[in-house]
Chain A
Amino acid sequence: MTLLLSAWTIGLILSLLALGVYISYRVFKFADITADGSITFGAAVAAAMLTRGVHPLAASGAAFVAGTLAGVCTGVLHTRFKINQLLSGILVMTALYSINLHVMGQSNLPLLSVTTLTTYAQDLGRWINGHDSATLLGWPVSARDLGSLLLAAAIVLVIGVIAWLFFNTNLGSAMRASGDNDQMIRALGVSVENMIVLGLAISNGLVAFAGALLAQYQGFADVQMGIGMIVWGLASVIIGRALIGSDSVGAALTGTIMGSVLFRLIIAVALRWGLNPNDLKLVTAIFVFGALVLPMAMQKVRRRAAAA
Chain B
Amino acid sequence: MLQLRELRKTFFAGTPNQVRALRGVSLQIDEGSFVTVIGMNGSGKSTLLNAVAGSFIVDGGAIAIAERDVTRWPEHRRAALIGRVFQNPFSGTAPTMTVSENLALAARRGLGRGLGNLLPARLQNEIRDRVATLNMQLESRMHNPIGTLSGGQRQALTLLMATWRRPEILLLDEHTAALDPKSADQIVRLTETIVSQHRLTTLMVTHSMQQAATLGDRIVMMNQGVVFADYAGAQRKHVRADDLVRRFDEIRRDEQLDAAAAEMLRENYV
Contact = CB atoms under 8 A, between A and B. Distances in A.
Interface in A52-105: none
B45 to A, nearest CB: 18
B169 to A, nearest CB: 13
Given A173-B97, A191-B74, A191-B76, A181 B91 contact: yes
Interface string A156-191: 000000000010111111101100110111111111
B104 interface: yes
Residue among A168, A171, A187, A190 facing the most chain B CB atoms (10 A cut-off): A187
A247 interface: yes
A184 B93 contact: yes
A225 B33 CA distance: 64
A177 B105 contact: yes
Contacts of A206: none
Given A173-B101, A181-B91, A181-B94, A187 B84 contact: yes
Interface string A245-260: 0010000000000000
Contacts of A169: 113-118
Contacts of A196: none
Contacts of B90: 181
A245 B84 CA distance: 33
B44 to A, nearest CB: 20
A209 to B, nearest CB: 20
Contact of B79 (A170, A171, A189): A189
Nearest to A167: B118
A171 B117 CA distance: 9
A177 B79 contact: no
Given A171-B115, A173-B118, A185 B105 contact: yes
A187 B116 contact: no
A192 interface: yes
Nearest to B80: A189
A173 B77 CA distance: 18
A118 B34 CA distance: 68
B52 to A, nearest CB: 12
Nearest to A252: B96
B119 interface: yes
Contacts of A184: 91-94
Nearest to B113: A170
A176 B116 CA distance: 15
B117 A168 contact: yes
A190 B76 CA distance: 5
Residue among A166, A168, A174, A184 facing the most chain B CB atoms (10 A cut-off): A184
Contacts of B97: 173, 176-177, 180
Contact of B115 (A170, A176, A247): A170
B230 interface: no
Contacts of B101: 173
* 10 smallest beta-carbon distances between A and B, as pairs: A189-B79, A180-B94, A170-B113, A177-B94, A189-B110, A247-B96, A173-B118, A187-B84, A181-B94, A188-B109
Given A181-B90, A187-B75, A247-B145, 6 more contacts: A169-B113, A170-B114, A173-B105, A181-B93, A186-B75, A247-B96
Interface of B: 53, 74-77, 79-80, 82, 84, 86, 90-97, 101-102, 104-106, 108-111, 113-119, 145, 161-162
29 contacts: A168-B117, A169-B114, A169-B117, A169-B118, A170-B114, A170-B115, A171-B114, A173-B97, A173-B104, A173-B113, A173-B118, A177-B102, A177-B105, A180-B96, A181-B90, A181-B93, A183-B86, A184-B91, A184-B94, A187-B75, A187-B82, A188-B106, A188-B109, A188-B110, A189-B76, A189-B77, A189-B110, A190-B79, A191-B76
